C-alpha cells in the first residue's frame, strides 16, 4: 500500500508539472505557489501536522484547485489537488 501511494502521488505530480510546462494549465497569480515551486515539489509520505489555515490556488483553464496547508511543526506547505478524489484528502507532496 505504501508504494502504491507514492506511485499515485508521483503520477499526479508528473501530470501537473507536464501540464504546466506545456501551457495546458496555468497557475493564477498568488503569493505562495509559483511554477518553480511546483516543479520542485517533494513527495513524502510522513505524518502531516496541518494548521487550520488553508490556501487555494486555482489552476486554469480546468478551474481545479491546488490546496495548500501549512505544517505548523516544520514550516512546510503540503499540497493537495482537487482534480482527483485521492489527492483531495491526501497530500501529493510538499514545498519548503
Q: What is the pLDDT of residue 37?
A: 87
Tell me what pLDDT residue 47 has.
Answer: 67
- pTM of the predicted protein model: 0.84
Of residues 51 and 80, the one with the higher pLDDT is 80
CA distance 29 to 96: 19
Residues 35 and 59: their CA atoms lie apart, in Å, by: 11
Q: Is the peptide bond before 33 cis (omega within 30 degrees of 0)?
A: no
- Residues making up the chain, counted from first to last: 96
Amino acid at each position: 500500500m505504501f508504494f502504491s501511494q507514492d506511485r499515485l502521488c508521483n503520477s499526479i505530480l508528473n501530470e501537473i508539472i507536464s501540464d504546466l510546462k506545456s501551457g495546458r494549465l496555468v497557475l493564477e497569480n498568488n503569493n505562495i505557489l509559483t511554477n518553480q515551486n511546483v516543479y520542485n515539489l517533494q513527495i513524502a509520505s510522513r505524518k502531516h501536522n496541518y494548521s487550520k489555515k488553508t490556501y487555494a490556488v486555482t489552476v486554469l483553464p480546468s478551474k481545479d484547485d491546488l490546496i495548500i496547508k501549512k505544517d505548523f511543526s516544520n514550516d512546510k506547505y503540503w499540497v493537495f489537488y482537487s482534480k482527483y478524489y485521492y489527492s483531495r484528502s491526501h497530500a501529493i507532496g510538499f514545498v519548503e
